[in-house]
Amino acid sequence: MKPHSQTELRRVALLLALATILVSPLPASSTPQAGHGKGKSTGSGCPGGLDVSRSGQPSVPLAIAVGVFTGQRKGLIAPDEIILSTRLRNAAWTTFYRQLSAPGVTDYIRGPETIPTVHVGDIINVTAGGSALGYRALATALSAGSMVVAPVVTFGARGTATVVGFATLQTTTIKGRGNPKYLDATVLSLDLDPCFIRP
């Protein structure tokens, strides 16, 4: 029997975890959805609406679907591991308020200090969920152990999403080549609008 390297064993474990996520059923949830429009969200399923006074400073142009944290989408592995994957379609690339483009995403990955401050309720431009657009550039720009802040969103129509919070992640693995492409990370903190926090 041939010994396996730690990297090979980690890769097999990650693929098994991803396969488990893909075949596991989603729980039913009654989480409200935010309203969508240009600029600020004008409504939500929340009594009183979203708390638009909350803001964050993203460091990556990757928007995470709030359903990952509420149980409506796959990707969260207890207690705090998250997999954002082209196969799971649980995240999208964003240029925030600028017109969506591949060079815009790459510019933000290479120059995260240029990413604007974002507020809960803001409408941002996003790719389709599952887009592979920025994974290769992200894998080149970040190493394992990097800490990043990403907006958490509800996806709207026509390439838009409403910001409902922020997640701070510590990267474990970023696979920018092959299929599926993914970001595997540990959730260090999660700041969601109270409307999306389970009682």
Domain for residue 117, yes or no? yes
Q: Tokens at residue 60, please?
A: 């990556």
Domain for residue 181, yes or no? yes
Split into its structural domains, the chain has a count of 1
Q: Tokens at residue 153, please?
A: 């969103």
For residue 38, what are the domain limits? 34-196
Domain for residue 56, yes or no? yes
d(CA 10, CA 129): 26
The whole-model pTM stands at 0.78
How would you write the pLDDT of the chain (199 residues) with one tens digit per residue? Answer: 455 555 554 554 444 444 444 334 443 333 333 333 335 544 445 666 788 888 999 999 999 999 999 999 999 998 999 999 999 999 999 999 999 999 999 999 999 999 999 999 999 999 988 899 999 999 999 999 999 999 999 999 889 999 999 999 999 999 999 999 999 999 999 999 988 775 5
Domain for residue 6, yes or no? no
d(CA 81, CA 173): 11
Enumerate the β-bridge partners of residue 166. Answer: 151, 191
Domain for residue 25, yes or no? no
Domain for residue 153, yes or no? yes
Domain for residue 157, yes or no? yes
For 116-181, the DSSP string reads: PPEETTBEEEE--TT--TTHHHHHHH--TT-EEEEEEEEE-SSSEEEEEEEEEEEEEEEE-SSSS-
SS3 at position 20:
helix
Write down the pLDDT at residue 4: 56
Give the H/E segment covering residue 96: strand 91-96
Write down the pLDDT at residue 17: 46
Domain for residue 14, yes or no? no
